[in-house]
Structure 1
Amino acid sequence: MTQEKLFIKLKEEFAKIIEEKQLSMDKVNIRSEALSIDEAIGNTKRTDFPIITGKEVLLQAEYKGFYGQAFTDAPAIFEGKLSQVLDMDLTSGGHGRGIFIAAMNAVMCSLGLADHTIHCKNEGPELCAKKIKSYFKERYADIKITLVGYQPAMLENLADGFRVRVLDLNPDNIGQIRYGVQVEDGIKDYSDAVQWADVILCTGSTICNGSIVNFLDLDKETIFYGTTIAGAAAILGLKRLCFESL
């Protein structure tokens, strides 16, 4: 699937939901803004989460008291109607995608079509990582996991029990040894790391930069994690883990 086809599908499916629920006629205000580190992830013992290092921002949309979020490298502030969200260009950059995805997550959460749309805080990332390790331990005897997206708590936990490779796009991480694993280039090392793995554990924020299309049609199990992918996972039927989010 190409990026264009992916975003056309997401927009069409979300538009159907809005039409069926007659939301397009409502005077709906959606506000999406970059959260501070404390608002997004709270007080964590680690200092190398992407949201803390400044490589990503977390956009938050509010709709009728429900919230949806999206990790992105494109900060944005938006207030308007759902019809305006549907008119956004999703193919040319991250600005419109971040607002669209955050808004979609909030609306789908309000309708009971998606859940766990608010990022965990404080000890949540550590607890989630431990639960993800347990998830794999309970289901697989011996597997090789390629972690897509440098997520320190997950990497440390998975490396203690599994053979793990990790891909990332941040040049500050690539080539570094983290928790006994060398961070590899998400572009240059993609093919080898994916072919090597039995299971791909992929960050849902790939939906914002469009690289998710590289992980949608693989001939092996692919599991996404995080809040960003909540609505898209429901629409596309993707397996998703997000244990400590709200």
Structure 2
Amino acid sequence: MTEDQLYNKLKDEFEKIIINNNIQADLVLIKSRSLSPEEAIGITERKDFPILTGKEVMLQAEYQGFYGQAFTDAPSIFSGTLSQILELDLMNDNHSRGLFISTMNAVMRKLDLADHTIHCKNDGPELCGKQFVPYMKDHYNNPKIALIGYQPSILENLAAVFDLRVLDLNPDNVGQLRYCIKVEHGINDYDEVINWADIILCTGSTICNGTIVNFLNLNKDVLFFGTSIAGAATILELKRVCFESE
């Protein structure tokens, strides 16, 4: 699946949801704003989460009292209707992608088509990371894991128990040791790491930058985590875990 096919599918399916629920002409305002780190993730013990280092921001959309989020490097502010959201250019504008994804998550949460759309805060990221260890043991026994995206709590907990390699695109991380694991390049080392792994554990924020297409239709299990992927996981029928989010 290409990026163009991906975003066309998401837009088409979201449009069907809007039409089927007869909300396409609603004069409902969708508000998206960039959350501060503390609003998004609270006060955490460790300080190397991407949102705390300024590499990502979180957009939050509100629809009729329900919230959806999207991690992105393209902060945006928007107020408008669902029809206007459907008109956004997802292929050529990163700002539009974040707005669309966060809005889709909020609307699908309201319609009970998606869940866990609000990022965990404070102790939540640490508790989440710890829960990945028994989950992996219960579902996959003793797999070799490729972690896609630098998520420190998940990385530290899994690396203490399993064979693990991590891919990332942030130049501040690539080539560095993080919790005794060398961070490898998300493009240059992709083939080697993916072929090595038994299972892929992939950040859902790949839905916002389009790199998710590199992890669809692989000949091994791919498990997505995070709030950004909430609505798309339903539409694309993807496996997803998000232990501490709301």
Aligned to 1:137: 137
How far the C-alpha of 1:139 sits from its partner, in A, is 2.2
How far the C-alpha of 1:140 sits from its partner, in A, is 2.6
Task: Spell out, residue by residue over 1:27-65, the C-alpha distance to the aligned partner (whole angstroms, 9 max, x if none).
Answer: 110000000111000000111000000000000000000
Aligned to 2:166: 166
Larger CA deviation: 126-135 vs 201-210: 126-135
Q: Secondary structure at the match of 1:113?
A: coil
Kindly tell me the number of residue pairs found equivalent between the two proteins.
Answer: 246
The percent identity for this pair of structures is: 64
Task: Spell out, residue by residue over 1:17-36, the C-alpha distance to the aligned partner (whole angstroms, 9 max, x if none).
Answer: 00000111111100000001
Between the aligned partners of 1:141 and 1:162, the Cα distance in structure 2 is: 10
Between the aligned partners of 1:21 and 1:151, the Cα distance in structure 2 is: 36
Between the aligned partners of 1:24 and 1:141, the Cα distance in structure 2 is: 46
Residue 211, structure 1, aligned to residue 214, structure 2: no
How far the C-alpha of 1:73 sits from its partner, in A, is 0.2
Aligned to 1:13: 13
Equivalent AA in structure 2 for residue 103 of structure 1: T
Aligned to 1:94: 94
Aligned to 2:119: 119
Aligned to 1:23: 23
Q: Secondary structure at the match of 1:191?
A: helix
Between the aligned partners of 2:134 and 2:128, the Cα distance in structure 1 is: 10
Equivalent AA in structure 2 for residue 148 of structure 1: I
What is the aligned-residue RMSD (CA, Å)? 0.5
**Contact 1:63–1:103 (8 Å) recurs in 2:** yes
**Contact 1:132–1:241 (8 Å) recurs in 2:** no
Per the normalisation by structure 2, the TM-score is: 0.99
Aligned to 1:226: 226
**Contact 2:167–2:186 (8 Å) recurs in 1:** yes
Residue 56, structure 1, aligned to residue 56, structure 2: yes
Task: Spell out, residue by residue over 1:46-91, the C-alpha distance to the aligned partner (whole angstroms, 9 max, x if none).
Answer: 1100000000000000000000000000000000000000000000
Task: Spell out, residue by residue over 1:133-188, the C-alpha distance to the aligned partner (whole angstroms, 9 max, x if none).
Answer: 11001223321000000000000000011000000000000000011100000010
Q: Which runs of 5+ in 2 are unaligned?
A: none
Equivalent AA in structure 2 for residue 6 of structure 1: L
Between the aligned partners of 2:33 and 2:187, the Cα distance in structure 1 is: 29
Between the aligned partners of 2:55 and 2:152, the Cα distance in structure 1 is: 14
Between the aligned partners of 1:185 and 1:171, the Cα distance in structure 2 is: 9
Equivalent AA in structure 2 for residue 162 of structure 1: F
Q: Which runs of 5+ in 1 are unaligned?
A: none
Between the aligned partners of 2:34 and 2:54, the Cα distance in structure 1 is: 12
How far the C-alpha of 1:232 sits from its partner, in A, is 0.2
Equivalent AA in structure 1 for residue 116 of structure 2: H
Task: Spell out, residue by residue over 1:197-228, the C-alpha distance to the aligned partner (whole angstroms, 9 max, x if none).
Answer: 00000000000000000001100000000000
Between the aligned partners of 1:166 and 1:93, the Cα distance in structure 2 is: 28
Between the aligned partners of 2:203 and 2:141, the Cα distance in structure 1 is: 23
**Contact 2:34–2:76 (8 Å) recurs in 1:** yes
Aligned to 2:177: 177
Between the aligned partners of 1:183 and 1:5, the Cα distance in structure 2 is: 30
